[in-house]
């Protein structure tokens, strides 16, 4: 006998929404318009107005996307871990934290995918190969697969609470897993010069932060509606 189908409960919105057309508010629209403007400016600046690099020539422009996307992905995974922790360890076990964790992981996976794709193009131009078995690349690839697994777990059946608990635990396990993977892969080999992210000059960093900020502001609003 099934008393009540738990899946049905998920369809119930937690609070009645006045309009089903949009989740936006005036503030999010303003931020969105700001983002689009800023991104237009960034594209123009990144692709056209800024000078080419002395060594890497035009291919340096790839890094304007590559570096901020991975920063954003890291940030997204941190948000996932923190939200998972808040879900598990706060007394109320609010499902809002679960949704935040899931939405953030989606953003993270999408941006790691961009990082890997763009990075391999940059690698082909700079190193002559698409892929190097370098510590950071390998860890990033495993990080990607780990969070694809996390998203797959979120699609397993069960009640909303069950899913929330399960994925929150997985979100926390990833915090143990990723450093171990990174450490071991680093022990395994490291070809790339230390810290591409840290050694960039100021101009690149500034552009990167802008891009990362604008992307992070625009993507959650999309992802939250699906999460």
Partner 1 sequence: MSTWKVACLIAAKDLRVERRSKIVTNQVLPFAGITMVSFAFALDKQNVLDTVAPGLIWLATTFSLLILVQRSFSIETDDGALDAMRVAGIDARAIFLGKAMALAVQLLVLEILLLFAAVVFYGESIQSSGAQGPVLAVVLLVTTLVSATCGLAAVGTLYGGLAAGFKGSETLLPLLTLPAVAPVLIGATKAVESAVGTAGAVVSEGWQWVGLLAVFAVAFGIGGALAFGPLIDE
Partner 2 sequence: MSPAPSPSSATVDGPVIVLDDVVAVLGQFPALAGAFLTVERGEIVLLRGPNGAGKTTLLRLCAGLLPVERGTATILGFDLSTQRELVRPHVGLLGHQNGLYLDLSVRENVNFWGRTVGASTDEIHAAMARMGVAERLADIPCRKLSAGQKRRTSLACLVARRAQVWLLDEPHAGLDATGRDELDATLAQAAGSGATILVASHELERAGNLATRSVEVIAGQVTALGDKK
Going by the DSSP 8-state scheme, the letter that residue 199 receives in this structure is T
For position 90 contacting partner 2 by CB under 8 A, the verdict is no
Task: Please give the distance of CA 24 from its chain centroid, rounded to a whole number.
Answer: 22
Please answer whether residues 73 and 108 qualify as being in contact, where contact means their C-beta atoms are separated by less than 8 angstroms.
yes
- Pattern 149-188, partner 2, x by CB under 8 A: ----------xxx---------------------------
Q: How far apart are CA 29 and CA 40, in angstroms?
A: 17
**Six token digits for residue 88:** 């598990």
For position 226 contacting partner 2 by CB under 8 A, the verdict is no
For position 4 contacting partner 2 by CB under 8 A, the verdict is yes
Give the SS3 label for residue 57: strand
Judged by CB under 8 A, the residue of 82, 95, 121, 173 near partner 1 is 173
For position 145 contacting partner 1 by CB under 8 A, the verdict is yes
Stretch that binds partner 1, among 7-15, 63-71, 125-133, 151-159 (CB under 8 A): 151-159
Residues 32-91 that bind partner 1 (CB under 8 A): 88
Residue number, 142 or 224, with CB nearest to partner 1: 142
Q: How far apart are CA 60 and CA 44, in angstroms?
A: 15
- 17's contact among partner 1, partner 2, none, with CB below 5 to 8 A by partner kind, is none
Judged by CB under 8 A, the residue of 160, 166, 205, 222 near partner 1 is 166
Smallest distance from partner 2 to CB 133, Å: 44
Cβ partners under 8 Å of residue 96, min gap 6:
none
Stretch that binds partner 2, among 1-9, 120-128, 182-190, 213-221 (CB under 8 A): 1-9
Please answer whether residues 76 and 104 qualify as being in contact, where contact means their C-beta atoms are separated by less than 8 angstroms.
yes
For the residues of 13-41, what is the DSSP string, one character each? -SS--S-SS----HHHHHHHHHHHHHHHH
Residue number, 9 or 184, with CB nearest to partner 2: 9
**Cα distances (Å, whole numbers) of residue 187 to 136, 139, 149, 179, 180:** 11, 12, 25, 12, 11
CA angle at 142 for the pair 138 and 148, rounded to the nearest 5° = 150
Stretch that binds partner 2, among 9-17, 163-171, 176-184, 215-223 (CB under 8 A): 9-17
Contacts with partner 1 by CB under 8 A lie at 88, 142, 145-146, 148-149, 152-153, 156-159, 161-162, 165-166, 168-170, 172-173, 176-177, 180-181, 183-185, 187-188
The binding site for partner 2 (CB under 8 A) comprises: 1-4, 6, 8-10, 12, 14, 159-161
């Amino acid at each position: 006998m099934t008393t009540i189908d738990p899946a049905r409960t998920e369809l119930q919105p937690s609070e009645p929404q006045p309009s089903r057309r949009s989740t936006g508010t005036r503030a999010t629209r303003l931020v969105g318009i700001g983002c689009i403007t800023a991104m237009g400016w960034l594209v123009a600046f990144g692709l056209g107005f800024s000078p080419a690099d002395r060594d890497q020539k035009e291919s340096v422009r790839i890094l304007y996307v590559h570096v901020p996307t991975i920063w954003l992905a890291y940030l997204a995974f941190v948000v996932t871990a923190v939200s998972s922790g808040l879900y598990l360890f706060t007394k109320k076990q609010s499902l809002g934290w679960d949704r935040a964790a899931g939405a953030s992981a989606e953003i993270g996976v999408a941006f790691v995918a961009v990082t890997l794709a763009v990075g391999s193009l940059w690698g082909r131009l700079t190193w002559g190969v698409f892929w190097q078995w370098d510590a950071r690349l390998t860890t990033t690839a495993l990080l990607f697969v780990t969070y694809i697994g996390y998203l797959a777990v979120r699609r397993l059946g069960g009640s909303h609470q069950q899913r929330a608990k399960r994925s929150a635990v997985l979100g926390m396990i990833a915090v143990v897993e990723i450093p171990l993977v990174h450490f071991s892969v680093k022990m395994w080999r490291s070809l790339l010069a230390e810290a591409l992210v840290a050694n960039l000059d100021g101009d690149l960093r500034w552009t990167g932060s802008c891009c990362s900020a604008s992307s992070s502001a625009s993507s959650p609003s999309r992802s939250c509606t699906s999460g």
